[in-house]
Amino acid sequence: MRPDISASGVVTRIDGPLLFLQRTVNVGLNTAVEVEGPDGAIRLGRIAAVETDRLIVEVLQSTTGLSLSGTRVRFSAEPLTLAVGPGLLGRIFDGLGRPIDGGPPVPAVQRLPIDGAAINPAHRELPRDFIETGVTTIDLMNSLVRGQKLPIFSGGGLPHDRLAAEIALRARLRTGMAGKFSVVFAGIGVSADSAEYFRSTMESSGALGHTVMFLNRANDASAERLLTPRYALTAAEYLAFQEGHHVLVVLTDLTNYCEALREVSASHGEVPSRKGYPGYMYSDLASLYERAGCLRGIEGTVTQLPVLTMPADDIGHPIPDLTGYITEGQIVLDRELDRQGIYPPVRVLPSLSRLMSAGIGKGYTHPDHPALANQLFASYARAVHIRVLASVMGAEALTDVDRRHLDFASAFEQNIVAQSHGRTLEQSMEIGWQVLQRLPPAELTRLSRAQLAAHFADDGRA
């Protein structure tokens, strides 16, 4: 490996986060650099473009304080890396992978490039190990499996942090063969109290020892936010694919990430796409979200639980929209349910888990699980539709069957969605069957006759 090379007095122009240098050394695209200003502070950056006689460096931290003459640039020989080792567990890092818990640096077994590499699709194993999260709307209706990426689409002020923390604490396999389990938490542009909430929750339950935290605070440079999830995912991949852990990665809040992406793109003078976000935002988000999965022949897995706050609660906004196209479903939180005091306020109908069918049913959870979930979805969708009708015409104008659907809808929200403590899948299913009792069996066309006979005493059918 080539030793690091320094150069000073080569900076010819500074424009926002971009540094234009004379090309005095041979360095390649995307190589990491350290920029030291006259103030002595060291900033991380990387080579964004190379020309015959010029280099463009993208500084990933604030450029305030840099000058043309007094700036030294140190070129490394490789892209940005993270030092990884078993010592990562229990530690807290800043958004650039430097310890901020007062502890010593992590003894490095290896240095891994933070951009990772694409998993060969032919080496992926189909994720199908059901994870019980204790949340009925997830376990029963939108099941999470190991190796999945399932984001929480939330809004400002909704309890997504609490939900993510609870899932991280409760998640378990039903088979009991839990294996080594760890949590990687990446706070991207989060407020100090958000980060502290997560830390203290993990600490009070004794889970901090198998947690790694990367914290990019709201007042850190925005370009740094682009790196925080990459450091976190690199740590997760190491723990999963080399140490054999089952890693749950909580990334919050991806909206801050995308805002930073837009900001940096604008400073590069790139042609913007929808709402000013760069045209490559899909590819860029994919380079994060696709770093989840199971590999053939390797024990560990990476499961992602990204959290994003939908700007103006709009699910069609580019951030949730592009995310939904990449991730394997979404859990949508709802302000109206939250106002009614229902926790967790999961809006079931637009929520989805694409890998659910692979991980539930006979041989995985319970043979009746798919049909029950399907029937609950169909009936609740119909009930919500009727509720809209009722709000126009009044409930008196409805037929009897329609009124029973209204009753079903509120029971669904009060008994299935709302919950004060974790439930096993069996408990969740039991509640599901009970709530369905409020509907006439003839309406339950997604259930087989055998299922109806087993769960409904007064089977009204001929």
Partner 1 sequence: MSEATLTWAAGPVIHARMHGPFQIYEALAVGERGLLGEVVQLKGDELIAQVYEDTAGLEPGAPLRGTEAPLSVLLGPGLLGQIYDGLLRPLTGLDAPFLAAGERLRVAQRFAFEPRIKVGERLVAGQVWARAPQAGRLSLVRAPPGVDGVVASISTAGDYEDHQSLCAVVDAQGRERSLSLLERWPVRMARPVAARLPASTPMITGQRILDTLFPIARGGRAALPGGFGTGKTVLQQALAKWCDADVIVYVGCGERGNEMAEVLNELPVIEDPRTGRPLLERTVIIANTSNMPVAAREASIYTAITVAEYLRDQGLHVALMADSTSRWAEALREISGRLGELPGEAGYPAYLSSRLASFYERAARVRTLGGDEGSVTVIGAISPPGGDFSEPVTMHTRRFVRSFWALDPERARARFYPAVNPLTSYSEDAGRVTAWWQANGNSNWLEHRRRLLDLLGQQARLERMARIVGKDALPAPQQLTLLLADLVNEALLQQSSFSVADRYCSPARQSAMLRLVMRFVELAEAALARGVPIRTLVALPVLPRLKRLGEEHGETDLAGIEELGREVEAIVLALAANHAP
Instruction: Find the binder of partner 1 among 69, 120, 219, 420 (CB under 8 A).
Output: 120
**Of the candidates 1, 177, 271, 312, which one interacts with partner 1 according to CB under 8 A?**
271
Cβ neighbours of 105 (radius 10 Å): 11
Site string for partner 1, 215-244 (x = CB under 8 A): --------------------------x---
Alpha carbons 200 and 192: distance in angstroms, whole number: 12
Residue number, 90 or 311, with CB nearest to partner 1: 311
Residues 19-48 touching partner 1, rule: CB under 8 A, are: 23, 26-31, 48
Give 210's contacts (C-beta < 8 A, 6+ positions apart).
89, 90, 180, 181, 182, 183
Site size for partner 1 (CB under 8 A): 86
- Judged by CB under 8 A, which of 13, 39, 42, 49 binds partner 1? 49
Q: Segment 275-294, which members bind partner 1 (CB under 8 A)?
A: 279-280, 282-283, 286-287, 289-291, 293
Contact present, 50 and 28 (Cβ < 8 Å): yes
* Contact status: 151 vs partner 1 (CB under 8 A): no
Residue 117's Cβ-side half-sphere holds a number of Cα atoms within 13 Å equal to: 6
Question: Binding to partner 1 by residue 123, rule CB under 8 A?
Answer: yes
Nearest to 95 by CA among 230, 250, 198, 281: 230
Residue 325 is a binding residue for partner 1 (CB under 8 A): yes
Q: Could you tell me the smallest distance in angstroms from the CB atom of residue 272 to partner 1? A: 7
| 3-class secondary structure, 252 | strand
Nearer to partner 1, 80 or 221 (CB): 80
Q: Does 296 contact partner 1 by CB under 8 A?
A: yes
Residue 156 interacts with partner 1 (CB under 8 A): yes or no: no
Which SS3 state, helix, strand or coil, does residue 437 take?
Answer: coil
For partner 1, the closer of residues 377 and 433 by Cβ is: 377
Q: How far apart are CA 244 and CA 200, in angstroms?
A: 26
Give min distance, CB of 66 to partner 1, in A. 22
Mask 59-88, x = binds partner 1 (CB under 8 A)?
--------------------x---------
Query: Is residue 274 at the binding interface for partner 1, with CB under 8 A as the rule?
Result: yes
| Residue 116 contacts partner 1 per CB under 8 A | yes
Based on the number of CB atoms within 10 Å of its own CB, is 84 exposed (0-12), middle (13-18) or buried (19 or more)? buried
**β-pairing verdict for 301-309 and 211-217:** unpaired
DSSP state letters, 172-217: EETTS---EEEEEEEEEEE-HHHHHHHHHHHHHTT-GGGEEEEEEE
For residue 278, the 8-state DSSP code is B
Least distance (Å) between residue 401 CB and partner 1? 9
| CB-nearer residue toward partner 1: 295 or 425 | 295
Q: Which is nearer to partner 1, 81 or 201 (CB)?
A: 81
Considering only 41, 178, 298, 453, the residue that binds partner 1 (CB under 8 A) is: 298
Of the residues 36, 125, 299, 313, which one makes contact with partner 1 according to CB under 8 A = 125
Per CB under 8 A, the list member of 126, 178, 453, 454 interacting with partner 1 is: 126
408 scored as a contact of partner 1 (CB under 8 A): no
Q: Is the dihedral of CA 106, 229, 164, 157 positive or negative?
A: positive
Give min distance, CB of 260 to partner 1, in A. Answer: 18
Of the candidates 83, 52, 64, 80, which has an alpha carbon nearest to the alpha carbon of residue 19? 64
255 binds partner 1 (CB under 8 A): no
The alpha carbon of 79 is separated from its chain's Cα centroid by a whole number of angstroms, namely 25
Q: Please, what is the Cα angle at 323 between 320 and 329, to 5 degrees?
A: 100
- Any idea which residue has 């376990």 for tokens? 139
Residue 437 contacts partner 1 per CB under 8 A: no
Q: Contact between 397 and partner 1 (CB under 8 A)?
A: yes
The answer to whether the CB of 151 falls within 8 A of the CB of 326 is no
First to last CA, the chain: 79
Closer to partner 1 at the Cβ: 122 or 457?
122
d(CA 40, CA 38): 5
Q: Which is nearer to partner 1, 57 or 165 (CB)?
A: 57
In contact, 327 and 285? CB cutoff 8 Å: no
Residue closer to partner 1 by CB (options 165, 386) is 386
Check residue 108 for interaction with partner 1 (CB under 8 A): no
Q: Among 8, 374, 410, 414, which residue interacts with partner 1 (rule: CB under 8 A)?
A: 374
